[in-house]
């Protein structure tokens, strides 16, 4: 019997399994938004140190993912979208995941402090702590507002990126923080609407399971309007130019339209929720991509 045909618990964990602990898709979003924070920051940039700083942020994001998987291994095992993660399948022991995450967390903060500055390193340390402890260990299982408050961890990378370049945190990166912070609830609640069974089995009090689909859809619509409004703010503080403004208006308008379509849909029709979830990913990527593209294209100084 070859390895591919064996049950997953019979094979030895490889590098790819430890890489999966880092939540690479989430890590890629963190790296991207941190890069945008760097690209939007004023001043001269040492490309080598900026690259090392971005690597440190990526490692910190991976550390957060590993610590989250360590803590949530019990609920991951009963949710269909997480049951094949390395710990539930028995490939990586929980203790090893915890040690791996802790080591990477310390390494990332130290590396960012050496390559950049203590402000950025302190923010990265706080981000890891907030995600691993405040969100994973406390909020996630305690309140349906888990993703609202916990979203602060995922919203901090552009602030960390900006601080890595400038050593400061003025209002501009906090606007980027606000966009991600307000984007997080409609993004995850749209997912939770068509994954209610998973969260119910795991005992996680996501909004649809606690307040019902109708209430959740109303809140999604409110947050979509807020995201669309804050999404244009970078233009009005001078971070971006008219090209970004046009992109942000178009994307924000469609986000609100998708949320409105979901609001009016039957509670048992998950199609609009799935479409909004998919578009929300595109929305954030396209909105943030518009900032460096506009700048590097010389459309905004």
Say if 6 falls within a structural domain: no
Whether pLDDT at 12 is above 80:
no
137 and 176 in a single domain? The answer is no
pTM of the model: 0.92
**Of 253, 56, 41, 251, whose CA–CA distance to 158 is shortest?**
41
Split at pLDDT 50, 70, 90, the class of 121 is: very high
**Domain around 108:** 16-146
20-21-22 Cα angle (round to 5)? 85
Name the region of 145 (left: φ>0; alpha: ψ -120 to 50; beta: rest): alpha
Domain at 223, CATH number: 1.20.120
- Number of domains the chain contains: 2
Say if 10 falls within a structural domain: no
* Range scoring the smallest mean pLDDT among 6-20, 82-96, 110-124: 6-20
* Range scoring the smallest mean pLDDT among 98-107, 142-151, 160-169, 255-264: 142-151
Is 206 in contact with 145 (CB distance < 8 Å)?
no
Q: Can you say how many angstroms the Cα of residue 146 is from the centroid of all Cα atoms in its chain?
A: 14
127 and 53 in a single domain? The answer is yes
**Ranges of H-type helices in 116-212:** 118-129, 140-142, 146-155, 157-166, 171-193, 196-202, 207-211
Say if 47 falls within a structural domain: yes
35 and 82 in a single domain? The answer is yes
């Amino acid at each position: 019997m070859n390895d591919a045909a064996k049950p997953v618990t019979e094979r030895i964990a490889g590098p790819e399994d430890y890489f999966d602990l880092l939540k690479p898709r989430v890590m890629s979003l963190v790296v991207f938004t941190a890069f945008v924070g760097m690209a939007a920051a004023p001043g001269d940039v040492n490309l080598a140190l900026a690259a090392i700083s971005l690597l440190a942020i990526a490692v910190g994001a991976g550390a957060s993912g590993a610590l989250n998987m360590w803590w949530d291994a019990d609920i991951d095992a009963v949710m269909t979208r997480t049951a094949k993660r390395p710990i539930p399948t028995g490939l990586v022991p929980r203790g090893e995941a915890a040690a791996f995450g802790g080591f990477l967390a310390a390494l990332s903060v130290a590396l960012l402090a050496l390559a950049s500055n203590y402000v950025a390193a302190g923010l990265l340390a706080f981000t890891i702590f907030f995600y691993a402890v405040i969100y994973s260990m406390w909020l996630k299982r305690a309140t349906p507002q888990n993703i609202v408050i916990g979203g602060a961890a995922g919203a901090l990378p552009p602030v960390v990126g900006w601080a890595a370049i400038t050593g400061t945190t003025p209002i501009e990166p906090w606007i980027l923080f606000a966009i991600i912070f307000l984007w997080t609830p409609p993004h995850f609640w749209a997912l939770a609407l068509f994954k209610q069974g998973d969260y119910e089995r795991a005992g996680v009090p996501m909004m649809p399971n606690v307040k019902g689909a109708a209430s959740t859809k109303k809140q999604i619509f409110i947050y979509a309007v807020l995201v669309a409004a804050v999404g244009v703010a970078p233009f009005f503080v001078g971070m971006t130019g008219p090209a970004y403004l046009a992109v942000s208006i178009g994307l924000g308008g469609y986000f609100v339209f998708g949320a409105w379509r979901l609001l009016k849909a039957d509670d048992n029709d998950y199609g609009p929720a799935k479409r909004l979830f998919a578009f929300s990913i595109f929305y954030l990527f396209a909105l943030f991509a518009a900032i460096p593209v506009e700048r590097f294209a010389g459309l905004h100084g």
